Amino acid sequence: MGGWGISLAAHDAGLWPAHPGDRTGWESLAPGAGCSSVALRWWIVRSAKIVLDIKFIRHPLTTGTARKSVVSNFSGSRNDAGTMNLHSSRNNNIMSPTTCRSATCDVAYRDGTPRLSMTASSGRARVVDGWGLFAEKGTATMLRKHTLSWIALMALLATLLAACGGGQPTTGGTGGSSGSTGGQQQTVTIRWRTRPGDAAEQRVYEELNALVNEKLKDKGITAVYDPAPNQGYFEKLKTELAAGNAPDIFWIGGVELADFVNTGQILDLKPLIDADSSFQLSNFYPNVIEQLTRDGKIYGLPRDISTMVVYYNEDLFKAAGLKTPKELAAEGNWNWNTMLEAARKLTDPANQQYGLGFGNWWGPAWGYFINAAGGSPFTPDRRGCALNTPESIEGAKMVRLLYDEKLLPAGDADGEALFNAGKVAMYFNGRWFTPGVRTNAKFNWDVAVMPEGKVKSTWLFWGPYLVNAKTANTQAAWEVLKVLTSAEATAKVAALGTNIPPRSDKAAVDAFLASTPPANNQAFLDGIPYAALEAPVWDGSWADFSGIVQSLWDQMIAGQITPEQFGQQACEQTTSTFK
Q: What is the contact surface with another protein in residues (CB under 8 A)?
A: 58, 62-65, 91, 93, 109-112, 146-147, 149, 197-199, 229-232, 235-236, 239, 242-243, 352, 359-362, 409-414, 416-423, 436, 440, 442, 543, 546-547, 550-552, 554-555, 558, 560, 573
Report in angstroms how near the CB of residue 420 gets to another protein at its nearest.
6
Rg of the chain, C-alpha, whole Å: 28
**Calpha distance 527→524 (Å, rounded):** 6
Report in angstroms how near the CB of residue 561 gets to another protein at its nearest.
10
Residue whose CB is less far from another protein, 300 or 409: 409
Length in residues, the chain: 579
Residue whose CB is less far from another protein, 78 or 145: 145
Residue whose CB is less far from another protein, 25 or 436: 436
Report in angstroms how near the CB of residue 75 gets to another protein at its nearest.
17
What string of H, E and C letters represents the secondary structure of 307-345?
Answer: ECEEEEEHHHHHHCCCCCHHHHHHHCCCEHHHHHHHHHH
Report in angstroms how near the CB of residue 340 gets to another protein at its nearest.
20
Residue whose CB is less far from another protein, 11 or 146: 146
CB 412 within 8 A of CB 418: no
What string of H, E and C letters represents the secondary structure of 142-210?
Answer: ECCCCCHHHHHHHHHHHHHHHCCCCCCEEECCCHHHHCCHHHCCCCEEEEEECCCCCHHHHHHHHHHHH
Report in angstroms how near the CB of residue 403 gets to another protein at its nearest.
10
Report in angstroms how near the CB of residue 110 gets to another protein at its nearest.
5
Facing residues of 192 across strands?
225, 249
Spatial CA neighbour of 224 closest among 357, 115, 125, 99: 115
Report in angstroms how near the CB of residue 186 gets to another protein at its nearest.
31
Residue whose CB is less far from another protein, 93 or 287: 93
Report in angstroms how near the CB of residue 31 gets to another protein at its nearest.
34
Report in angstroms how near the CB of residue 73 gets to another protein at its nearest.
17
Residue whose CB is less far from another protein, 285 or 358: 358
Single-letter amino acid, residue 16: W
Report in angstroms how near the CB of residue 195 gets to another protein at its nearest.
11
Residue whose CB is less far from another protein, 280 or 352: 352
Residue whose CB is less far from another protein, 136 or 416: 416
Residue whose CB is less far from another protein, 420 or 473: 420
First to last CA, the chain: 56
Residue whose CB is less far from another protein, 401 or 413: 413
Give one DSSP letter per residue of 562-579, joined into a string.
-HHHHHHHHHHHTGGGB-
For residue 503, the 8-state DSSP code is B
CB 104 within 8 A of CB 187: yes
**Calpha distance 485→272 (Å, rounded):** 15
The conformational region for residue 130 under phi > 0 = left, psi -120 to 50 = alpha, else beta, is left
Q: Where are the alpha helices (DSSP H) in 217-307?
A: 233-243, 257-261, 270-275, 286-292
